[in-house]
C-alpha cells in the first residue's frame, strides 16, 4: 500500500530518514526506487549497508539531510519521527521534497488484544523510562501548525509475523530500550520473553497494528 500511494518504482527517489538498520529501507529498495537511507549512528549505518547494499547509506539527520533542494519524490520515517525536533526537521524535510512530494510516517505498534503481545509489552514497558511513546500524536499538531504540509491521510492495518521462540527473543532484543540494557538484565528479560511463548506451537503469529500517515508537501 505504501509503495502504491507514494508511486514508488524505477526512476523515483525516496529518502528514508532515521533509517536505523534498514527495516523499512529493504521494502523501499524492493520497489525499484532509488533509495537514500539517512542515519546518524555509524553502527546502525554499517548494519544497514550490509543488509541493504542497494541503498545509498549516508550520515545525516532529519534536521540536516545531506541532499539538495527538491531531491526526493518521497521522504519516509519508520518508528523515528517522534524523536525528531519538529521545528528543524519539518522545514528540512519540506526542502528536500519536490513540489508534489509526500512525507510518509510509519509506526508499528503491538496488537495488545493478542495475549502474547500483551505479555511482551508488559515485560518491555518498565524499561521505557522517558522514551517517547511511538504513537504519541503530539507530532500532528506540529505538522499542522507548521503550515509546511497539507492534510494528513491516515491508514491502519493489522498483520502478523511468524516467529519461533528464539526469533521472538531476537526481535525484542532489537528494541532500542532493550538493546541499551546491561547484558545480564537483557539476557534475563529475553529468557522471560521465551518463557512467554513456551507453550505455543512454532512458528506462531506475532500480531501488530501498522499506522501509516501520508502528508503532502505544501506548494
Domain borders along the chain are 2-216
Take residue 105 and report the three cell numbers written for it. 510516517
Take residue 85 and report the three cell numbers written for it. 525536533
Find the angle CA(45)-CA(90)-CA(38) to the nearest 5 degrees.
10
Question: Given a cut of 90, is residue 199 above it in pLDDT?
Answer: yes
Sign of CA dihedral 68, 213, 155, 58: positive
Name the pLDDT band for 136 (thresholds 50, 70, 90): low
CB atoms within 10 A of CB 171: 15
Lowest mean pLDDT among 27-31, 127-131, 153-157, 212-216: 127-131
Please answer whether residues 52 and 31 qualify as being in contact, where contact means their C-beta atoms are separated by less than 8 angstroms. Answer: no
Name the pLDDT band for 132 (thresholds 50, 70, 90): very low
- Secondary element (H or E) of residue 184: helix 183-196
Cα–Cα distance between 205 and 72 in angstroms, integer?
36
Question: Given a cut of 70, is residue 131 above it in pLDDT?
Answer: no
- Secondary element (H or E) of residue 4: helix 2-5
Q: What is the CATH number of domain 2-216?
A: 3.40.50.150
Q: Alpha helices of 78-162 — where are they, by DSSP H?
A: 86-96, 115-124, 138-146
Amino acid at each position: 500500500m505504501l509503495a502504491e500511494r507514494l508511486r514508488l518504482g524505477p526512476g523515483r527517489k525516496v529518502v528514508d530518514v532515521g533509517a536505523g538498520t534498514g527495516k523499512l529501507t529493504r521494502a523501499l529498495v524492493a520497489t525499484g526506487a532509488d533509495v537514500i537511507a539517512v542515519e546518524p549512528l555509524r553502527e546502525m549505518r554499517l548494519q544497514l549497508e550490509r543488509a541493504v547494499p542497494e541503498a545509498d547509506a549516508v550520515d545525516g539527520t532529519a534536521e540536516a539531510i545531506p541532499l539538495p533542494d527538491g531531491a526526493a519524490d518521497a521522504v519516509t520515517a519508520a518508528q523515528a519521527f517522534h524523536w525528531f525536533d519538529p521545528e528543524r526537521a519539518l522545514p528540512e524535510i519540506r526542502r528536500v521534497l519536490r513540489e508534489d512530494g509526500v512525507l510518509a510516517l510509519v509506526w508499528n505498534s503491538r496488537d495488545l488484544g493478542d495475549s502474547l503481545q500483551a505479555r511482551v509489552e508488559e515485560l518491555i514497558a518498565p524499561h521505557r523510562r522517558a522514551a517517547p511513546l511511538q504513537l504519541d500524536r503530539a507530532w500532528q499538531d506540529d505538522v499542522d501548525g507548521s503550515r509546511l504540509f497539507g492534510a494528513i491521510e491516515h491508514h491502519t492495518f493489522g498483520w502478523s509475523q511468524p516467529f519461533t521462540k528464539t526469533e521472538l527473543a531476537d526481535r525484542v532484543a532489537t528494541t532500542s530500550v532493550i538493546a541499551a540494557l546491561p547484558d545480564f538484565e537483557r539476557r534475563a528479560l529475553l529468557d522471560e520473553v521465551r518463557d512467554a511463548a513456551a507453550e505455543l506451537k512454532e512458528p506462531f503469529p506475532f500480531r501488530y497494528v501498522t499506522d501509516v500517515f501520508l502528508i503532502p508537501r505544501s506548494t
